[in-house]
Structure 1
Amino acid sequence: MKIIVISNYSVIREGIVSLICKYENISIQFVGETIKDAMFLIKSNIADIVLLDINKDNEEELNSINRLMTLGVSMKTIVVDFYGNKDFFIKALKSGVQGYILGKSSEDEILYAMDHVYRGKKYFDSYFVDSMINENKDLPNKLETLTNREKEILEEVAKGLSNQRISEELFITDHTVKKHINHIFKKLNVKDRTEAALYWNKYGVLNKQEE
């Protein structure tokens, strides 16, 4: 697992490096202050994961991540947030990051998140997910109101796929995807793709395991 560590604070860079460098399956490729510093490595698809510390002084780095996503780089991003800022979390999701963890997370949780993302999955700290979804016991049952096709589309939305990509994956038209997504929003009572993705990440996996 090839890692790039980015933070505008040296103490955080050093802390992250000291935490993960002792593992044989982890190779630190670069440590720097900004995404721009590591741009060559990122565009060359040398790194598997970027661990990005986000704070009020460098939140524009999320815009850099968004631009890189549009370029089709294979690198995945895990944001490390030492402030528990929900606004950063929402912005990070919209930027297309694959992971978001608290800076105070345990070593085991950080390693688990890295492994999860490395294997092509997503990992969002429950602190942020729980804060954005009403913790009502009836909420998970709303998934039962979705058709099988709507569940398939919701799962793809949670992966960050665009409508066009979803239509290609499921062999349906872009118009059909849009129609299904509108139905999903109404049935789950969510406002946008971010809330829908969060809903699936919290309840969808559990629902599938119970089937």
Structure 2
Amino acid sequence: MTKANISIVIVDDHPVMLKGLQQELEHVGYQVLATATNGASAIEVITTNHPDIAILDIEMPFLNGFEVVKRLKALDLNTRYIIMSYHKEKGFIVQAKKVGVNGYLLKEDSIQDIEKCIEEVIKGNTFYSSSFTDDFEKTASEELRKIALLTPSERTILRLIAQERTSLEICEVLSISKRTVEKHRSNIIAKLELDSSAKTLINWVQFHKELVLSL
């Protein structure tokens, strides 16, 4: 497939970034069908235009990039999704893998990196910025594997911990005993392969907060 035949929608709430990326992509020969500046309008322009590729920022008004991808994936469109962000943290990569993002670029990446990503994603492959090492990606995938082992009850408690609820508050919200909460915490720690020190689970949850709140 030639560049001229690859259709793209760009979503970013930063006008300068949005315009700059559009100009760069059009300059090298891609077909930019439309742009959007927030998550709600992103869903509208993508479902209307059915692009081959949608390039999305993460942090946007109304819906973030991951929420947009999750909703659009449910519609079973043929569009492939590339996240472009300043965020390099492992939690964001884990979240990207969880929702089924096809590519993840950093806003500091060159147009050559963007072209390479588009090329691989169009082929049906995944592509992550060269700033991420193989070990980094493997670690992100490993966190997803661990989270998949949690029961629905354990995931609920993990979300409440991410909301900074105390054990007593979790007892009240879920109408369960403190002993039951502590048993769930112990199981979560074991499944996530964390050590049993008091702050370890809280620190893990804070580091992966975006992912945990989406469970």
Q: Hey, which bits of structure 1, 4+ residues long, moved more than 6 A? A: 56-59
Aligned CA distance change for structure 1 residues 122 and 45 (closer, same or farther; 3 Å): farther
Q: Greater CA radius of gyration, 1 or 2?
A: 2
Q: With the length of structure 1 as denominator, give the TM-score of the two structures.
A: 0.57
- 1:71 and 2:75 equivalent? yes
One-letter amino acid of the structure 2 residue matched with residue 115 of structure 1: E
- 1:49 and 2:53 equivalent? yes
Give matches, 1:131-150, under 5 Å: 131-133=136-138
The match for 1:87 among 73, 78, 91 is: 91
Look up the match of 1:60.
Answer: 64
CA distance in 2, matches of 1:133, 1:59: 28
Look up the match of 1:202.
Answer: none
CA distance in 1, matches of 2:137, 2:125: 20
CA distance in 2, matches of 1:82, 1:104: 7
One-letter amino acid of the structure 2 residue matched with residue 69 of structure 1: K
Q: 1:42 deviation in Å?
A: 2.2
CA distance in 2, matches of 1:22, 1:63: 30
- 1:97 and 2:95 equivalent? no
Question: Which stretch shifts more, 49-58 or 6-15?
Answer: 49-58
Aligned length in residues = 139
Give matches, 1:141-180, under 5 Å: none
- 1:21 and 2:26 equivalent? yes
Aligned CA distance change for structure 1 residues 132 and 48 (closer, same or farther; 3 Å): closer
Match of 2:34, SS? strand
CA distance in 2, matches of 1:56, 1:29: 20
Give matches, 1:94-133, under 5 Å: 94-129=98-133, 130-133=135-138
CA distance in 2, matches of 1:51, 1:103: 11
Look up the match of 2:12.
Answer: 7
CA distance in 1, matches of 2:43, 2:58: 17
Q: CA RMSD in A?
A: 3.0
Q: 1:38 deviation in Å?
A: 3.6
Unaligned runs of 5+ in 1: 135-189, 192-211
Q: 1:43 deviation in Å?
A: 2.3
Look up the match of 2:40.
Answer: 36
CA distance in 1, matches of 2:41, 2:91: 25
CA distance in 2, matches of 1:45, 1:36: 15
Q: 1:127 deviation in Å?
A: 3.1
Aligned CA distance change for structure 1 residues 133 and 122 (closer, same or farther; 3 Å): closer
Aligned CA distance change for structure 1 residues 56 and 28 (closer, same or farther; 3 Å): closer
The superposition leaves residues 63-102 of structure 1 with CA deviations (integer Å, 9 ceiling, x where unpaired) of 1211211221111110001232332221121111100011
The superposition leaves residues 32-76 of structure 1 with CA deviations (integer Å, 9 ceiling, x where unpaired) of 112421434422462111111223867733112112112211111
Unaligned runs of 5+ in 2: 1-5, 140-190, 193-215
CA distance in 2, matches of 1:66, 1:4: 16
Look up the match of 1:167.
Answer: none
